[in-house]
Amino acid sequence: MKVLVIGGGAREHALCRSLSHDPDVSALHCAPGNAGIAEVAELHQVDALDGPAVAALAAELGADLVVVGPEAPLVAGVADAVRARGIAAFGPSAEAARLEGSKAFAKDVMAAANVPTARSYVCTTPEEVDEALDAFGAPYVVKDDGLAAGKGVVVTEDVEAARRHALACDRVVIEEFLDGPEVSLFAVTDGETVVPLQPAQDFKRAYDADEGPNTGGMGAYSPLPWADPKLVDEVMETVLQPTVDELRRRGTPFSGLLYAGLAITSRGVRVIEFNARFGDPETQVVLARLRTPLSGLLYAAATDALISFPPLRWSDGAAVTVVIASHNYPGTPRTGDPIEGLDEAEQHDGHAYVLHAGTKRAESGEILSAGGRVLSVTATGPDLTAARTRAYGAVSLIRLADSHHRADIAAKAAGEA
Ligand code: AMP
Ligand code: GLY
C-alpha cells in the first residue's frame, strides 16, 4: 500500500522508519517531514493544518492510507478532510481529538465513563482560581485548557507561581496532585475494538533527576520492568475501553491512537491526560519493539477492521531513546546550528539509530538544528542496560553546540541509579 505520513518530528521519523521496513508498504511519502525522514520517505510541502490541501496531496499521490502524526492537524480536522475524500485516515476526527485539545472536555468524558483521574475544577475567573488552589493545597497542578505542546502544565509548591500561570490562561483546569510514577500506554482503536501497545515511560522534566521545567519529553524506555504485569489489562478495563465506548456513545467515535498518560498512585492507576496521537518520544521505543508490520495495524484501525486483526507481536528486548535538545529548550530554542557525527552515531554498533525531531538540510548539504528537540537517539538491546549503553554511546558521538540531554534516561529502571 501507498502511505502518506503527515508531520515532521521524531515521532513521524519513527513511524516512517517502521513503515519503510514494512513489506506491505510499496511507497512512502511524508509531508512536511525533516532531514532525517528524507532518507526513508519522499517529502512533500504542504500546510499540515490545511485539511483540503492534505487530502488533495493524498489523492494526487494515490495514497491508500494517510497517517496524521501531530495533534494540531487532528484538532484542525485533517483526518476528517482525508476521509471525506474517500481515503483511509489513521487519526481521530476533530470532534474526538478534543480529548486532547481540551482538558475540560477530557475530564467530562472521564467523569461520564467513570475513568479514574485527578479531581479537578475548571476555572475562568481569578476568584475561581483562588478557591480551587485553596481547596487542593500544595503541590499545585495548573493546566492551560487548550493545546500547549506539553508545556501548558505547571506543577509547583509556590502558590504565587500557580496563580500567575492560571491567570495567564483563559480557561484553566486546576487539579489534585497525583503522586507515583508515570506510565504512557498507547492503544490503537477503530472506535470500537481497542488494541493496547506496550507501556513506556517518558521523562518530562528538562534536567537529570527530574529537575527543571516540563518539556515535550526528554527520553523514554520500554518495557517497564518495575510495573505490575497486570497493568495493561487493568488500564484496558478501567480506562481505554470505557473511554472509547463513551465517545462512540456520544456519536463521536474515536479512531486512531489513544494515548493514556497515567500516574500509578498509592490509591491505584489515575489518568493524568489523554492525547489523541502517538506520544513523542515514547513512540520511538514502542515502535522499536513492535514486530507486527505497522501498516496493516494502522490500516485496520482506519477501516474499522481491528476486530479481526491478529495479536500483536513484540520483541522481548528493550529500547531506550535519548532526546538531544537545543540550547535554551524548552525556552525559545536557538536553531540553525550544524549537527555533526550523525553517521558515526549510526554506525558505531549497529543497534543505535538517530531519529530527527527538528532538523533541516541546508543548501550546502549540512544538517542544521531547526527546533527545540533536535534528535531522538534510539537503541535496542537484550535489556535496558544494553539499550542504554548503546543509546548513550551514540549520543556521545553527536556534536551540536550548546545542546543538552538527560544522562539518566532509564537509569533507575535498569537498576543503575
Ligand atoms: P500533561 O500535559 O497533563 O500530561 O501534564 C504534563 C506533566 O505534568 C505530566 O506528565 C506530569 O508530570 C505533570 N502532571 C500533570 N498533572 C499532574 C497531576 N495531577 N499530579 C502530578 N503531576 C501532574
Ligand atoms: N511524551 C509526551 C507527549 O507526547 O505528549
3-state helix, strand, coil in the chain (%, to 5): 35, 30, 40
Between CA 171 and CA 124 the distance in angstroms is 5
The pLDDT value given to residue 417: 78
CA of 185 from ligand 1 middle (Å) equals: 15
Instruction: Using DSSP, state whether 49 is helix, strand or coil.
Output: coil
Pocket test for ligand 1, best of 71, 201, 273 (most atoms within 8 A of CB): 273
Between CA 216 and CA 195 the distance in angstroms is 25
Q: What is the mean pLDDT of residues 197-217?
A: 95
Nearest to residue 411, comparing CAs of 289, 322, 325, 345?
A: 322
Q: What is the mean pLDDT of residues 26-52?
A: 97
Ligand 2 contacts CB of residue 150 (under 6 A): yes
**Each residue's pLDDT tens digit, 258-267:** 999 999 999 9
Between CA 156 and CA 31 the distance in angstroms is 38
- The bound ligand whose nearest atom lies closest to the alpha carbon of 373 is 2
CA of 272 from ligand 1 middle (Å) equals: 6
pLDDT of 101 > 90? The answer is no
The pLDDT value given to residue 16: 98
> pLDDT band at 414, cuts 50/70/90?
very high
Give the atom of ligand 2 at the shortest distance from the alpha carbon of 149: 5
Identity at 195, one-letter amino acid code: V
| Residue-averaged pLDDT of the chain | 96
Are the beta carbons of 297 and 193 closer than 8 angstroms? no
The pLDDT value given to residue 30: 98
CA of 291 from ligand 1 middle (Å) equals: 31
**Is pTM, for the whole model, over 0.85?**
yes
- Which is it for strands 2-7 and 27-32: parallel, antiparallel or unpaired? parallel
The pLDDT value given to residue 348: 84
Ligand 1 contacts CB of residue 315 (under 6 A): no
pLDDT of 168 > 70? The answer is yes
pLDDT of 149 > 70? The answer is no
Q: What is the mean pLDDT of residues 34-56?
A: 97
> Helix H segments across 102-230?
103-113, 126-136, 159-168
State the Cα angle at 46 between 285 and 191, rounded to 5°: 55
With 0-12 / 13-18 / 19 or more C-beta atoms within 10 angstroms meaning exposed / middle / buried, residue 120 is buried
pLDDT of 199 > 60? The answer is yes
- Which is it for strands 399-400 and 268-275: parallel, antiparallel or unpaired? unpaired
- The bound ligand whose nearest atom lies closest to the alpha carbon of 140 is 1
Pocket test for ligand 1, best of 100, 117, 153, 265 (most atoms within 8 A of CB): 153
Ligand 1 contacts CB of residue 356 (under 6 A): no
Pocket test for ligand 2, best of 221, 275, 283, 355 (most atoms within 8 A of CB): 275
pLDDT of 155 > 80? The answer is yes
pLDDT of 103 > 90? The answer is no
What domains are there in the chain, each with its CATH number? 2-90 (3.40.50.20), 120-175 (3.30.1490.20), 182-308 (3.30.470.20), 318-395 (3.90.600.10)
Q: What is the mean pLDDT of residues 45-67?
A: 98
The pLDDT value given to residue 238: 98
Per-residue cell: 183 = 506510565
pLDDT of 150 > 80? The answer is no
CA of 153 from ligand 1 middle (Å) equals: 7
Q: What is the mean pLDDT of residues 345-363?
A: 94
CA of 126 from ligand 2 middle (Å) equals: 29
Position with higher pLDDT, 5 vs 155: 5
Q: What is the mean pLDDT of residues 137-146?
A: 90
Are the beta carbons of 282 and 252 closer than 8 angstroms? no
**Each residue's pLDDT tens digit, 293-338:** 999 999 999 999 999 999 999 999 999 999 999 999 999 999 999 9
Are the beta carbons of 128 and 171 closer than 8 angstroms? no
Q: What whole-number percentage of the chain has pLDDT above 70?
A: 99
